Amino acid sequence: KFVPRLNVPRVNMPPIVASPVTAPAATSAAAAAEPIFAGPDPSPKKIGEVAIVDIGFDIPKEKITFTDRIPAELGTSISFTAKNATGADGVFIVIFYKTNKNFSSSKELRQEKIILKKNGKFEIPPYRFVEPGIYKLIVKSGGMQLVERIFSVQQK
């Protein structure tokens, strides 16, 4: 399954590890009825003056590995929305890190323990990429790795 990666205009801002995203309040009954999770969203969201791309993915029962074919540009802010598609409630560990050839020197950027009900969703706050390299998002449950998402960040 291919998920598009957007390269959008950047706004100069200091590097941040992560910041929570708050959704704007619904302005009408029709807007309130829209589903919260609709899978990968190819259009960037604007929070203040920062464009953020949100990528949705399912947490399956069995391991999947996905490599994004199109690299993100340096300065891109990306958030992820994970949906529990295992068929049962679960406890998951989400680990986000920058890899190195020597794995022992890889840098963990974020780790969270989350509890999701069946079909529940969790938004991983946006991260602004200020270093080129290979990044991985790992989701584990019960000591088993269920999701490995690999993507690269390159300079323009």
Q: 120-142, pLDDT tens digit by residue?
A: 999 988 888 888 889 999 999 99
pTM: predicted TM-score of the whole model, two decimal places: 0.64
- Least confident range from 10-14, 42-46, 76-80: namely 10-14
Q: How far is CA 51 from CA 4, 66, 109, 128, in A?
A: 15, 24, 20, 10
Confidence of residue 40 (pLDDT cuts 50, 70, 90): very low
Q: What is the pLDDT of residue 51?
A: 52
> What percent of the chain is predicted at pLDDT more than 70?
67
